[in-house]
Amino acid sequence: MKVRIRSVHGKNNIKRKPSERIFDFFNAFIMIVWGLISIYPFWYILVMSFNTGADAAAGPIWLFPRVFTLENYAFVFQYDRLQSAFIVTTLRCIIGPVLSVFVTMLAAYALSKRFLLGRKTLLFFFMMPMFIGGTIISNYVVIAKLGLLNNFLVYVLPGAFGFFAMIIMRTHIEQLPEELHESATIDGAGYVRIFFQIILPLSMPVIAAFSFFAVVGNWLDYYTNLLYVTDRNLSTLQFVLYEIINRAEASSLIDFTKTTDAAQRRLMSMANNTVPTPEVIKMTVMVVVTFPLLFIYPFFQKYFVKGMLTGAVKA
């Protein structure tokens, strides 16, 4: 099923009244403006990240870089914290969703069996925390007492099971033809085998949608980092971006003289008058942190729309 907005009016234009034409024109115009507003900020930071800092500070830039340079990226990519944050974020974007799919799918499969004793009770058990949960403080205390502060596991464990995702997956599993299950049973397959060889392969569209959401969630999350992780080696991309935007981190990034390479680069760019300012550094980092997700999102669109629909139909 695709979310295609069905056209509710006939295609022929001859029948349209003048008032309808005016309406259609303004409607289309507003939609175009809305689309442009949605993407212009991203275009703007991209343009600024390719512009020299000194020039960007001199006057407004609207649509294209005025003095083109790649120097900003050269500086940003040499920043060691950004490199380690990239590794940490990529790792959690792989481990988190895989773990999550497993835990949630297993539970969804078990709960799709109507004969399971205590099924209602278990559902209630899983649903309760949606309404009464811990507060920011009680969560912190639990995480701290479990020894998960400054631990990579804090990124992947607490969110591994999600009630909503489980319900969507269960709905999907219930819609699979029962005959598959029966013939597999006759062939001597047990629950474990059926799960891995029949249920999982047949649930790939839902799993793809769910994994995509999990990757997005992991990529965008900085809250976990802010609350539970102070170890700078375990920082995530969003958190590094947060620091660069909010503190003097940007200037320290420009001012590194730790390696001779970096010092040389700085001298060179000083000669060319292309030393980045904190402003353009911020934007370059923003591009680096934001754009990867924007590029993979259109490819997953058909999956997540489908995934959302499975849930919506149920609700």
Residues within window 187-226 making contact with another protein, judged by CB under 8 A = 190-192, 195, 216, 220-223
When binding is defined by CB under 8 A, the residue of 231, 255, 293, 314 that contacts another protein is 293
Tell me: does residue 253 bind another protein (CB under 8 A).
no
When binding is defined by CB under 8 A, the residue of 14, 63, 137, 271 that contacts another protein is 137
Tell me: does residue 131 bind another protein (CB under 8 A).
yes
Tell me: does residue 60 bind another protein (CB under 8 A).
yes
Give the interface segment with another protein, choosing from 78-86, 87-95, 264-272, 278-286 (CB under 8 A). 278-286
Q: How far is the CB of 231 from another protein (least distance, A)?
A: 16
Q: How far is the CB of 48 from another protein (least distance, A)?
A: 7
Tell me: does residue 12 bind another protein (CB under 8 A).
no
Give the interface segment with another protein, choosing from 52-60, 69-77, 201-209, 262-270 (CB under 8 A). 52-60
User: Which positions from 169 to 188 touch another protein by CB under 8 A, shown as an x/- string?
Assistant: ---------x---x--x---
Tokens coding 76: 């940003």
Size of the site for another protein (CB under 8 A): 104
Tell me: does residue 34 bind another protein (CB under 8 A).
yes
Nearer of residues 125 and 267 to another protein, judged by Cβ? 125
Tell me: does residue 152 bind another protein (CB under 8 A).
no
